[in-house]
Structure 1
Amino acid sequence: MDQLKLKLQEYYQRYQQMDQRVKPGKEEPGFEDVLDMENDILSQFGLPTSRRFVQILHDFVHHGHVSDQLLDFVSKKLRSAARKYLLAPVMSDIDLLESAREQKRSPYDVLPELGYPAQEYALFLIGELYYRRNMAAADILDELKKMQHFDSWNDLMLLSKIHNHSTHELYAKLKKEELRFVDDFIQYTRRQDPERLVNKRATPTEEGYTPNYKTITKVQVEDIIFDEQTTPSLFGKIKSGRGYTRITISLEFSELNQILMSSDELGVEISNHIKKRLGNPSAEKPTVVDIRAEFGDVLKLDNCYLEVYKPQHREGTKWVEDKDNFYFVDKILTKKEFEKRTKDAEVKRKIEECLELIGGSYVYYQRLRRLGITDEEAKLRAGLQDELLFKLSYFLNKVKE
């Protein structure tokens, strides 16, 4: 059996394994391997991974069993498609786009022939901006080239999930790359999926309660779960006394990215993995990232401090905290920011203690005056002989009244 037949047979087996659905929340096993094999097989014939050529392989794997006759048939079909494709007149990219629009070809077909991935932003550029809004082909191609050059596909997909995206660092990065249609794309995706913003959690102020904030660190994150409709959640544990307590933390995509970027190499790996998952429209939802299984260890959040709070619900006229160990993130602090905040709080506490003492000195001064001690002597005994200090003590005492 020649190499091509062996590859086709292996592809058939891999596809069948992938097609065995797994439980919700897990990605189909071997999905990326199957895509790589499709690319490998088609490239042997000089064919791009356009939908029309990939369909030949998909038709093949939907046969009940593999035989030599079937393998020969698929090989001939691929050779025939390759002859037709490779012997067709050479077209410029602009001509190819114009022809595709006239023939109403799917962007999924066109993009691989142009040498670009069938990624959401690329599909938007051709399907929406070029086909529907009649943007110039040269502008579309220029944007595709920039995206490919900077490899910003996954960055843009992550940015599109972030509320108030224009204030995020990724937005500034993409703008520096002179990408023209980022805002159009994000507005378009949100119009297509209005629930994404509707499902953004309400703040305590909007709900009407005052949360009890606490600061946590050294969380050991075991799983990250997210989908298109809800914000990400971290599942893990935190030190509590001599043992550990299970904890769930809900946060925005921008906050998740901030945490991961502060978590050394493992955090960066996980961030890139999540971007890849977000860019894979065929991945099952919700998406579960089992960190230990995927990366060999849990993610330890040692370099940041999370200011969190428990959601509350009404019981009659009172707001009551939920009992579960479930928290929302309000703020993320770096170690340096946390130490500065702690130091500032300590300084503030000491200043308040000093002011308390100064204010109390005026009470002592008044008591001495009532005992008939002269004004000058009373100020001296109360430690208020300095006129400015005396005035400060007086006003601090007045504030208390």
Structure 2
Amino acid sequence: MDKLKLKLQEYYQRCQRQETRSKTSREQAGGASVLDMENDILLQFGLPASKRFVQILHDFVSQREVNDHLLDYVSKKLRTAARKYLLAPVISDLEQLDQAKEQKKTPYDLLPELGYPVNDYSVFLIGELLYRRNIVAVDVLEELKKVQYADVWDDILLLGKIVNYNTHELYHRMKDHELRFIDDYAQQSLKQQNAKAAGKKALPASEGYTPNLRMVSKLQVEDILFDEQQMPSIIGKLKSGSRYIRVTMVMEFSQLNQVLQSSAELGVEIGAFIKKKLSGAQKDKPIAIDVRAEFGQVLQLDDCHLEVYKPQHQSRGKWVETKDNLYFVDKILSRKEYDKKSKEAEIRGKIEECLELIGGSYGYYQRMRKLGITDEEAKLRAGLQDELLFKLSTFLHKLRD
């Protein structure tokens, strides 16, 4: 038996032993060595330890028993993957990021292939900033390079756990490396921790600002991103004037389900697809769904309206909205609910117009009186001959003053 087969067999046995232990025991009794073995095996083929290649090994150890036939099969599969990977056209890191964004490639595949470690901050840069907030790829790549060069990955992860992070000495050391996104990461990390502790997401009221709510509809959903740790988001196009803009809508899982249930057969089909993904072997990993690629068309949200707001942050003592086309969904209305709300708003507007006119009539009445016109005649000219209407006009006029 050659060295590779021996290595694969040892890896299989090590994983099987770990399966019989508790999670804590696995971490203490060789979890790191298994990762090292995965890296070593893949390195022999010139492959990075990205999710898609590690999955070959995970599929291997999921088999009930190991034999020469299985070892030959896995070796052949790794060689085929390596041949395809190594013979692929060489492209720059920036091009890889742009392609990954278009293809919604998981950060767990992308980062190792770029030569960067997979941790909370690197995943945040790809999954949150590049995919969700549409930060340009060149800025994300520059940040990755700076962190890698300074070798401060662990320091940034620690910073994300400190409540008053921006007053900590570690924060100023990170700023010396001219890192742009550590504030975004630390703030999101702390919000997630607080929301998790409270059992709910952080709301504008708890943050201290009043959101500027707006209603959107006719959203063309192109991608859906979600995992078990973060709120799901949908990415698509929204008409703004004569052009379409790319937006990201972050929402609760229950809201995502509501959106899908209101979107006819395609929405129901996507919902079933998501449930299948969440119950699969990789349910603990972030999942990206390219709606057009999976279902042949984008999802058109025609029968629901989203009441959304942009998150805000403090700048020079004032709350300001983010510049990115990132929105949080506050409420979802069906077409019937939206029509009812619109009608109520229209009626409320007309009532306010009427009250404005009635209040203004009292001012006209006063001018008539100053010109020496009798009280009765002034009320008649102002349309306030009804005593109740006259009293209402008086009070409304006082409110205006």
Q: What letter corresponds to residue 266 of structure 1 in structure 2? A: L
CA distance in 1, matches of 2:349, 2:51: 48
Number of the residue aligned with 1:362: 362
Please tell me whether the aligned partners of residues 228 and 283 of structure 2 are also in contact (alpha carbons under 8 angstroms): no
Confirm or deny that 1:267 pairs with 2:276: no
| Residues 188-227 of structure 1, C-alpha deviations (whole Å, 9 max, x = no match) | xxxxx98983485311111111222221111111111111
Q: How does 1:96-135 map to 2 (within 5 A)?
A: none
Number of the residue aligned with 1:229: 229
Offset, 1:243: 2.6
Offset, 1:283: 4.3
Please tell me whether the aligned partners of residues 26 and 287 of structure 1 are also in contact (alpha carbons under 8 angstroms): no
User: Structure 1 residues 382, 196: CA separation in 2 closer, same or farther (over 3 Å shift)?
Assistant: closer
CA distance in 2, matches of 1:22, 1:261: 40
CA distance in 2, matches of 1:221, 1:292: 9
Number of the residue aligned with 1:350: 350
User: Structure 1 residues 250, 25: CA separation in 2 closer, same or farther (over 3 Å shift)?
Assistant: farther
CA distance in 2, matches of 1:216, 1:58: 58
For structure 2, list consecutive stretches of 5 or more residues without a partner in the other structure.
Answer: 1-41, 76-191
User: Structure 1 residues 206, 195: CA separation in 2 closer, same or farther (over 3 Å shift)?
Assistant: closer
Number of the residue aligned with 2:393: 393
CA distance in 1, matches of 2:337, 2:293: 33
Q: How does 1:231-246 map to 2 (within 5 A)?
A: 231-246=231-246
TM-score, scaled relative to structure 2: 0.53
CA distance in 2, matches of 1:56, 1:373: 106
Q: How does 1:86-101 map to 2 (within 5 A)?
A: none
Q: How does 1:1-400 map to 2 (within 5 A)?
A: 55-56=64-65, 61-63=70-72, 197-198=196-197, 200-283=200-283, 285-400=285-400
Offset, 1:268: 0.2
User: Structure 1 residues 376, 225: CA separation in 2 closer, same or farther (over 3 Å shift)?
Assistant: same
Pick which of 367-376 and 19-28 moved more.
19-28
Please tell me whether the aligned partners of residues 228 and 284 of structure 2 are also in contact (alpha carbons under 8 angstroms): no
Please tell me whether the aligned partners of residues 25 and 286 of structure 1 are also in contact (alpha carbons under 8 angstroms): no
Offset, 1:378: 1.3
Q: Secondary structure at the match of 1:289?
A: strand
Q: What letter corresponds to residue 70 of structure 2 in structure 1? A: V
Please tell me whether the aligned partners of residues 219 and 302 of structure 1 are also in contact (alpha carbons under 8 angstroms): yes
Q: Secondary structure at the match of 2:246?
A: strand
For structure 1, list consecutive stretches of 5 or more residues without a partner in the other structure.
Answer: 1-18, 39-50, 67-192
Offset, 1:400: 2.1
Please tell me whether the aligned partners of residues 250 and 329 of structure 1 are also in contact (alpha carbons under 8 angstroms): yes
Please tell me whether the aligned partners of residues 194 and 202 of structure 2 are also in contact (alpha carbons under 8 angstroms): no
Please tell me whether the aligned partners of residues 379 and 385 of structure 2 are also in contact (alpha carbons under 8 angstroms): yes
CA distance in 1, matches of 2:297, 2:48: 23
Asked which structure has the greater RCO (Cα within 8 Å, sep 6+), the reply is 1
| Residues 94-136 of structure 1, C-alpha deviations (whole Å, 9 max, x = no match) | xxxxxxxxxxxxxxxxxxxxxxxxxxxxxxxxxxxxxxxxxxx
CA distance in 1, matches of 2:289, 2:388: 63
CA distance in 2, matches of 1:281, 1:65: 19
CA distance in 1, matches of 2:373, 2:348: 35
TM-score, scaled relative to structure 1: 0.53
Offset, 1:281: 3.6
CA distance in 2, matches of 1:58, 1:209: 63
CA distance in 2, matches of 1:25, 1:308: 34
Q: What letter corresponds to residue 296 of structure 1 in structure 2? A: G
Please tell me whether the aligned partners of residues 233 and 248 of structure 2 are also in contact (alpha carbons under 8 angstroms): yes
CA distance in 2, matches of 1:277, 1:359: 61
Q: State the identity as a percent.
A: 56
Q: What letter corresponds to residue 55 of structure 1 in structure 2? A: R
| Residues 310-346 of structure 1, C-alpha deviations (whole Å, 9 max, x = no match) | 1111112111111111110011111111122111111
Please tell me whether the aligned partners of residues 27 and 284 of structure 1 are also in contact (alpha carbons under 8 angstroms): no
User: Structure 1 residues 254, 22: CA separation in 2 closer, same or farther (over 3 Å shift)?
Assistant: farther
**What RMSD over aligned residues (CA atoms) do the two structures have, in Å?**
3.6
Please tell me whether the aligned partners of residues 237 and 244 of structure 2 are also in contact (alpha carbons under 8 angstroms): yes
Please tell me whether the aligned partners of residues 214 and 307 of structure 1 are also in contact (alpha carbons under 8 angstroms): yes
Please tell me whether the aligned partners of residues 200 and 230 of structure 1 are also in contact (alpha carbons under 8 angstroms): no
CA distance in 2, matches of 1:334, 1:267: 14
